[in-house]
Every structure is written in structure tokens, then in C-alpha cells.
A and B are shown apart, each in its own frame.
Chain A
């Protein structure tokens, strides 16, 4: 470093003497609350976009991520997806393989894990497909750069960072999707593109069912199933069936982890009972999440719900169905 540079480096040291700022608006309690949600979400999703979600879920002001940016409704009115139908096929691409699928009216999500890792706990990749007529806000503004089209439609890089990349592309003339890839591999944009190329809309939705029921009365009045989560392609140990229950359809993917939900899952090795509910082994985390072990076939019943809903009561009331499952799990 030359003398001139040393002078200016020395000037920076003046900032060391800056007085401490107040930390009053930073809340450890809120961090714990949001952290619990994220842990819970990671357990349920097997690591789906944890990195992306943490930042948003924990802040009062909207520091947004491309993946979480609410879709912008544009004319003509959007064409909703079916809740109980998988609208897209996705395969192994870019070193990722789908393991979970989430359906909603405004968007559908494919969660993918690295194929070269046995444990997909680390966030890997998430594809979000928006209903025709909606577009993620990242598609509205200027892109970092533009890639070669996919099937003649535009592809933009909207985030390119250490450990993460997000592209947005048009999967149909009036419909957008995003692929967010979380990896330290240097070719993450190319990998995101490969994932996008592997996703195709089906001619007709594949019907979905879940193998459990739960009493409707335990949820808020006028609420219904708004999201469905099912295993997809290669779920590995993250076998989860779940429905989110609310009185309105979520408008952006961040809400996936925040809505009251119930379902069944295969417990992970580190999920051990820490209490009992009605004499049954249970894992209760902060009163927000509850899991009841041994509901049958190796599954646990689980629920996530804020007060005044009772997560423990909901989890305890989850019942396995026989046969092919149901698309009316609220009884």
C-alpha cells in the first residue's frame, strides 16, 4: 500500500470512535420467534429456501428477496391454478432434483435438492411458477443481465451473489417463473437456467391427495385449504404432506411458512419427543409448532399455528386416512 493509501486507510479509523447507536428497535425475542418459524419450516420443507426467507420474515420493513417479492397483478385478471392439482412437471437438472411440491392459486413451487448431497438440509433451489397474468416484481424492473431465451421467451438474471442466484423467465407468453439457486458453485446462474428449462406446464393438472384428515373446527371460521404440500420425485427423508388453512389465498410465496398448517411427516432423526400430549409422545416448540409421534405408518402428525389457534390440539387431531387419500382433508 502506498503512502497516499495509508493516509486514507488511517482516516477510516476515525469511524471507530463513532458513538454506539441505540439497539432498541432490534428485538431478540422477535429473532427467536422468527427463527423458530424458520427451523420449523426447514424441518417441514427439508431446507426449502431457508436463507431467502429468514431475512424477510424477521424484518418489520420490507427488505425483499426476489423469491419472496409478491407478484404484481396486471391486466387481464390472472388465471388461477388449481389448489388440488400439480400444474407443472419438473425433472433433474443443473445438479438438482425436485423433492417437494407446493400448490396454491397464485403460484406453485417446486423445491429441489442437490443430487450430489445425501442430506438436502442446506437450501438448494426453488422454482416458483406464477399464475398466468401475474408476474414477480423482479420481472418488472431492469435485470442484472439477460440470458439466451428459453423456447423463444425472455430470461433475466435478477440476483447474482455469493452463494445465490435468481433468474426469472417466461414459461408461457403471459406467465412468469423464477428459479433461485443457493450454492457456492460458481456456475449457479447456468444451473438456475437448466432448472428453468426442465420445467414444463402440464396439459392438465395432475390430481393431488393427502393421506390425512383434520377437524375443520380447529381452524378459524370461513377458512379453507389454500396451499397443499406433497412429496415430489425424490422426497428422501423429507416426506411431508401438509395443507395450509386460511381465509384468503396467499399472494406471495413468503406466506407459505406463515399460515396455519397441519399435516403428517416422517420425523427426522433429531426430532425427538420433549413432552406428552394426551399421553402421546410429542415435540412442542415454543407453543407455535407441535408434532405428535406415532400416528401410524411411521408418520407424525404436525401443526403450526399462532394463538388463538392451538397447534397442539390441531396436531393431536390429525388422523391418517386409508386408501388413496383425500382432497377434502378438513372434516
Chain B
């Protein structure tokens, strides 16, 4: 890669790194694993930078890399092995908003990876069914069925915690 291209890559990744980390963190609650996913994704981006920068939507292209990296990794059974014995640091809950986030994140983490990915892309990133289908490389009907299944699972997961939320407040 030429020096100018490499500088473009560095500039882009530097600017987008927090957002990529946020996406990985949404897909995968484990911090170390989210870091690994982003590290792997930006390496792939480097390899394919020439192709990526000519894409119609570079952000969408990179998002696809992150999502597929996450899904590929999750399919391997050893990805479920804990990487450390150290307790996972969690911020102390402060107030209802934080509590809501933690409970929702816990519930989301118990949903199968591909279904979870659909929920994250649709409702956190506001992607259309078609855009999610393109990102995942699957039919739109699959996205629709995963959406319905995911929300059903989320409802089941959150059922016992629902009292913790003021649903009207959420909707507002």
C-alpha cells in the first residue's frame, strides 16, 4: 500500500475506531473479545483497503466486516471459553438509565449471535431489512424472521425484569 493510501486508512480508522468498538461491544458484551473483533476487522480492512475505499458506502462496508468477524468467531465453540479468570469490570449502576442498559445488554447477550446481530443492526443502528440482509449476506425474509424471533426471545429474557422499567418512559 502506498504511503498516501496508508495515511488515508489510518485517518479513517482513527476517526471511526470508537464507533467500531461500540458496534463490536453491542454485538459482544465481553470487552476483550470486542477489542479482538475490532482489531481483526481493521486488519481485514487494511488488506482490502483499495476495494473498501471505492465502495459506495465505506461505513457500511466496514460495518459488514465487523459483523461478519463477530459471527465467524462466535460460531467456533472455543469462542465461548473464558479468556481470563479475572472478574469482568462493570461500571457501578447509577440510576435507572444505567440499570436499564445493563439489564437489556445482559438479555441481548443471551440471544443467539445471528439473531442478536439482526436486533442490533435494526434497532440500534436503524438499518432497514434490506441493509441488514446485505450486511449478513442472507435473504430479507431471514432478517424478518430473526427480528420476530429475537424480539420474542428478548421479551422472554426481560420478562422477570420488566418491572424495573418504566415502559412509558422508554417509549417517550
Instruction: From B73, B136, B155, give the contact of A63 (CB < 8 A).
Output: B73
**Partner of A54 from B13, B47, B78 at Cβ < 8 Å:** B47
Contact of A26 among B35, B72, B105 (CB under 8 A): B35
* Interface: B36 (CB within 8 A): yes
Determine whether the beta carbon of A15 is less than 8 Å from that of B108: yes
How many residues of chain A get a CB closer than 8 Å to chain B's CBs? 56
B88 on the A face (CB < 8 A): no
Query: Which residues does chain A contribute within 8 Å of B143, judged by CB atoms?
Result: none
Asked if B104 and A35 sit within 8 Å, CB to CB, the answer is no
Chain A residue numbers with a CB within 8 Å of B147 are 1
Give every chain B residue within 8 A of A25 (Cβ-Cβ). 32, 35
Measured between alpha carbons, how far is A12 from B123 in the docked complex, in Å? 6
Q: How far is A50 from B43 in the complex, measured between Cα atoms in Å?
A: 11
Check if A63 sits within 8 Å of B40, measured CB to CB: yes
Is the Cβ of A35 less than 8 Å from the Cβ of B38? no
Q: Which of B46, B105, B124, B151 contacts A5 (CB 8 A)?
A: B151
> Is B110 located at the chain interface by the 8 A CB criterion?
no
- Complex Cα distance A23/B35, Å? 7
Bitwise interface map of A from 144 to 173 toward B, beta carbon under 8 Å scored 1, else 0: 000000000000000111111000000000
Q: Which residue of A lies closest to B19 (CB)?
A: A20
Interface pair A5/B148, CB less than 8 Å apart: yes
- Chain A residues in 8 Å Cβ range of B76: 63-66, 159
With A55-B69, A64-B78, A142-B77 known as contacts, the answer to whether A10 contacts B170 (CB < 8 A) is yes
CA–CA, A28 to B10, complex, Å? 7
Q: Which of B35, B137, B158 has the most CB of A within 10 A?
A: B35
Partner of A11, one of B21, B91, B100: B100
Q: Contact at A162–B136, with CB atoms within 8 Å? A: yes
**Chain B proximity mask over A18-32: 1 for CB below 8 Å, otherwise 0:** 111101011110111
**Minimal beta-carbon separation of A249 from chain B (angstroms):** 24
Q: A5-B148, A12-B154 are in contact. Are A58 and B40 (CB under 8 A)?
A: yes
The answer to whether B155 touches A8 (Cβ under 8 A) is: yes
Question: Does B68 make an interface contact (CB < 8 A)?
Answer: yes
Question: Closest CB-CB distance, A11 to chain B, in whole Å?
Answer: 5
B38 touches A8 (CB 8 A): no
Q: A10-B170, A11-B170 are contacts. A162–B13 as well, Cβ < 8 Å?
A: no
A20 to B22, CA, bound (A): 6
User: Is A23 within 8 A of B21, CB to CB?
Assistant: yes
Whether B83 is near chain A, meaning CB under 8 Å from some CB there, is: yes
- With contacts A8-B158, A32-B6 taken as known, whether A26 is within 8 angstroms of B165 at the C-beta atoms is no
Given contacts A8-B151, A11-B165, contact A38 B79 (CB under 8 A): no
Q: Is the Cβ of A162 less than 8 Å from the Cβ of B137?
A: yes
9 contacts between A and B (CB under 8 A): A10-B170, A10-B171, A16-B124, A18-B22, A25-B32, A55-B73, A59-B39, A61-B36, A65-B76
